[in-house]
Amino acid sequence: MKRLALGLGLLLGYGQPTDSVEAVRFLRREVRRLCRFEGRAPLTPGGRKAEAYLLKRLRQMGYSPQTQRVPLSVYRLTHAEAQALTARGWTRWKLGEDFLPSAGCPPLQGEWPVDTLPREGYAWWVPEPHPLTKVRQLAREHGVALVLYPTPRLTGSIAPEPDSVAVVYRRGELQRPQQVRLRIQGRLEWGTAANVWVKRPGQRADSAWVVGAHYDHLGRVGSLTFWGANDNASGTALLLLLAQRLVQKPPPPYDVYLVAFTAEELGLIGSQAWVASPPYPLARVRGMINLDLVGFGEKGVAVVGGSDQPAFWERLDRLRVQQGWNVPLLVRPNAPNSDHYPFREKGVPAVFFYLQGGPGYYHDGQDRPATLTWTGAYPLLRWIEEVLYLP
């Protein structure tokens, strides 16, 4: 209905769609496309398709995109199923709803009696959350093959290699069964994934800005796909939109490097590789802006690395105020939670912007394109453009 009304409006000459409507349309389309690539995990077919797609899109815009190959390993969980025996008989646990293997869960197949104490030959039903490192240590000491670990939310991650102990997260409210049956398969793979980047030449090359967003996500665990719409197809789409707009605008005062990072979810591996051998001297980078989780914004904008770089942050924030974007701001100190961090470690001023709001889907099967509201992406984009055009 909305689409029809807009079309009718255009036909009747009610005016062109505004810049922000066009921008959000672009973002929605790009996120839908990026979410077709099976969770975009490095070294998977989906990860390679995502890389190829970014190269194609950037070429279409007139850039000559570059890749930086990054060697890495990924442990992929290719199959996961679980059944539990209760008084009502055997029931199947649903992957992603009742259980989720930890990212490094080693391959495992069999049937175990369940106990709340760590005992050899039993699956250890940990009654309530304890520090996982301690749980793993106890499991090893007691010869436990399988740990069933409670969590209120099943949150996925991705590991570079298998662990020595099998930890399977279970939904906290599940009743303890007498027996569990599990089949988990995984495969360790080695290869290279790629950072994809372009340069928009500025009027001067004596310093540069870097804007980055990671395009990788968690891929799949068995039949469960982690789509990663907000994390971080949203930031990748915003990076593409910025790329397109920068070629249509006059050259910015300084060079701008736009980087789609790989393997953020594996531990900031792509951005670490970038700062280890950057195509431009880091000492001459004016600042780095990282975009990750930008599909919402009803609850405002958060900036990681704002409070501990007051001078840099105030220069940026002044432009937001000038632009009139009055929005709740959460200004946080630096933290190793996304791709700005390796830049900070090298002494480059860097901030990580994310937008707050939404239903809270995170590293699960529900982080899908249709859930995104795109409330804050356009004003955030305009703000970043102001930064890049600051003389």
3-state secondary structure 183-220: EEEEEEEEEEEEEEEEEECCCEEEEEEEEEEECCCCCE
Task: Report the distance separating Cα 221 and Cα 78, nearest Å.
Answer: 6
Q: Which is nearer to Zn ion, 262 or 375 (CB)?
A: 262
Q: Which is nearer to Zn ion, 44 or 232 (CB)?
A: 232
Angle (nearest 5°) at CA 88 between 86 and 89: 70
Q: How far is the CB of 356 from Zn ion (least distance, A)?
A: 14
User: Using CB under 5 A as the criterion, which residues of the chain lie in contact with Zn ion when the complex forms?
Assistant: 231-232, 292
Place of tokens 């670490």: 272
In the complex, least distance from residue 71 CB atom to Zn ion, rounded to whole angstroms: 21
The answer to whether the beta carbons of residues 117 and 176 sit under 8 Å apart is: no
Cβ nearer to Zn ion, comparing 138 with 302: 302
Which CB atom, from 292 or from 364, has the smaller least distance to Zn ion?
292
Residue 257 and residue 210 in contact, taking contact as beta carbons nearer than 8 Å: yes
> Nearer Cβ to Zn ion, position 236 or 244?
236
**Smallest separation (angstroms) from Zn ion to the CB of 151:** 20
Contacts (Cβ under 8 Å, ≥6 apart) of 164: 106, 136, 140
- What DSSP element (H or E) covers 5? helix 2-11
Q: How far is the CB of 238 from Zn ion (least distance, A)?
A: 13
Q: How far is the CB of 33 from Zn ion (least distance, A)?
A: 18
- How far apart CA 85 and CA 175 sit, in angstroms, is 10
